[in-house]
Structure 1
Amino acid sequence: MERLIEFPLASEYITSTQLTSPVLAQGYCVCYQHDVNEYGYGPYGFRSEAAKNLISNVFEQMEFWCEHRGKMFNSRIPNGAGVYFYQDQLYVTKLENDLAKHQRKVALHALRDRYGRSSPNESACEKPLLLSVYENGKIRVDAISVLIKEDCAFFLIYHDLNLGGDVFIFFDPSIRDKIKNYSKHNHINYAVVDSIDMLNDW
């Protein structure tokens, strides 16, 4: 058996342990489990053919922000931890422009410093939002709040080593409807649990 499992946004994934914010209350997680036995045990991850077909049919063309490489990539199929934006959004263009300005400023500061031309009064480079989505491996709540406030269409993937594998984090209920509709027509079970703690270790 293969199944999708939905559970509320887990505090383990974010910088705040308080989930009382209206922004966080909208959040929900979806993971995939395959080769599930009668006791609910099985490996996690969108690795089966059915899971790959689901992903390719549900999601549109996206841009993927990879924090480790500090770059935005075009992405047809979400794969790997990071932030995914739907393409052709004005706010995402602004985020990319802010990042480019920051990178130029950092490079100029390094050049001045190299030749002893930097000033002690020179202001530190404030990180743009794209460089501030994560903190110590967790997702920053204030970054999520900004993206939602700006009506930005996005979702995140968090790689959970213990439970869930690649966990998709959404704040848009319409994505849930698309996933549930696809799973219903393709005989993939869709389970909803009250907490990540209800998932079985694998």
Structure 2
Amino acid sequence: MVANERLIKIPVPNFNEIIEIKKDSEAFCLCYQFNVDDYGYGPYGFDTDKAKDLLKVLFSEIYYYDNQVRGLVKKTVLDSEGLYFFKRWEKLKSDLDSYKLTIKKNEILARKGVAVEVLNEKPELYDVYENGKLSSRVLNDLSRLGCEFFIVNNYMPQGGKCLIFTDSSCLNKVKSLAKDLEIKFDSFPSIDSLKAW
């Protein structure tokens, strides 16, 4: 057991480079710190047993949007930066898989000189990245469809691996679970309130 662990809520930093966040947004980051001394110094990361338990209970099943293959990939750990879905991802995965399959079939048919199939409408998630950033418009549409997701990004030297949520709907569940697991929950007005590590 690691002493002095805490889950920390902060606003999304101004220098955030993965998604554009509006000033009136409910978006926030969660980061995890352990071996915290009396001055607030300690390493960041969801690396302790308690942190891993917290993530397992919060997100029993997670799918990462892999922009290289343009598909949802099942994950057991948060080992990549980017977009993760934890609820209502099934239709997104099905639509992406169907669209990509039709593209591949059409490539084969075209090489054989056979008429190609009409493509289904391109799933919005297919182009969720615009100029290297996640599209706020696409993410807002996915939220309206009831999809639940978070974004993993690293903020160094403060915060480390952070989970970005675009709305506060799961915050009470997170706080309650942290309490059940005896993890201290802190909230700070800015990433600058955290100590560099």
TM-score grouping bracket, smaller chain normalisation: 0.7 to 0.9
For residue 151 of structure 1, give the secondary structure of its aligned residue in structure 2: coil
Aligned counterpart, 1:163: 158
Contact 1:183 1:190 in 2 (8 A): yes
Q: Give the distance between the partners of 2:91 and 2:179, measured in 1 at CA.
A: 38
* TM-score normalised by L of structure 1: 0.74
Q: Identity over the aligned pairs, expressed in percent?
A: 33
Equivalent pairs counted in the alignment come to 191
Aligned counterpart, 1:141: 136
Contact 1:13 1:139 in 2 (8 A): no
Deviations 1:138-190 (A, max 9, x none): 33211221111212122222233443222111245342222212222333221
Q: Give the distance between the partners of 1:148 and 1:197, measured in 2 at CA.
A: 29
For residue 46 of structure 2, give the secondary structure of its aligned residue in structure 1: coil
Contact 1:86 1:153 in 2 (8 A): yes
Deviation at 1:19? Answer: 1.7
Q: Give the distance between the partners of 1:49 and 1:40, measured in 2 at CA.
A: 20
For residue 64 of structure 1, give the secondary structure of its aligned residue in structure 2: strand
Aligned counterpart, 2:86: 86
For residue 151 of structure 2, give the secondary structure of its aligned residue in structure 1: strand
Amino acid at match of 1:150: L
Distance 1:53 1:64, change over 3 A: same
Aligned counterpart, 1:66: 66
Q: Give the distance between the partners of 2:155 and 2:69, measured in 1 at CA.
A: 20
Distance 1:162 1:102, change over 3 A: farther
Amino acid at match of 1:155: F
What stretches of structure 2 of length at least 5 have no aligned partner? 115-120
Contact 1:6 1:31 in 2 (8 A): yes
For residue 170 of structure 2, give the secondary structure of its aligned residue in structure 1: helix
Name the stretch that deviates more: 148-157 or 68-77.
68-77
Deviations 1:78-116 (A, max 9, x none): 4432322235x3xx3443344235434654676688799
Distance 1:163 1:128, change over 3 A: farther
Contact 1:59 1:77 in 2 (8 A): no
Q: Give the distance between the partners of 1:68 and 1:160, measured in 2 at CA.
A: 23
Amino acid at match of 1:31: C
Structure number having the greater helix percentage: 1
Contact 2:71 2:96 in 1 (8 A): no
Aligned alpha-carbon RMSD (Å): 3.3
* Alignment of 1:185 onto 2:188: no
Deviation at 1:44? Answer: 1.0
Q: Give the distance between the partners of 2:196 and 2:70, measured in 1 at CA.
A: 32
* Alignment of 1:152 onto 2:147: yes
Q: How does 1:122-141 map to 2 (within 5 A)?
A: 128-141=123-136
Q: Give the distance between the partners of 1:137 and 1:197, measured in 2 at CA.
A: 25
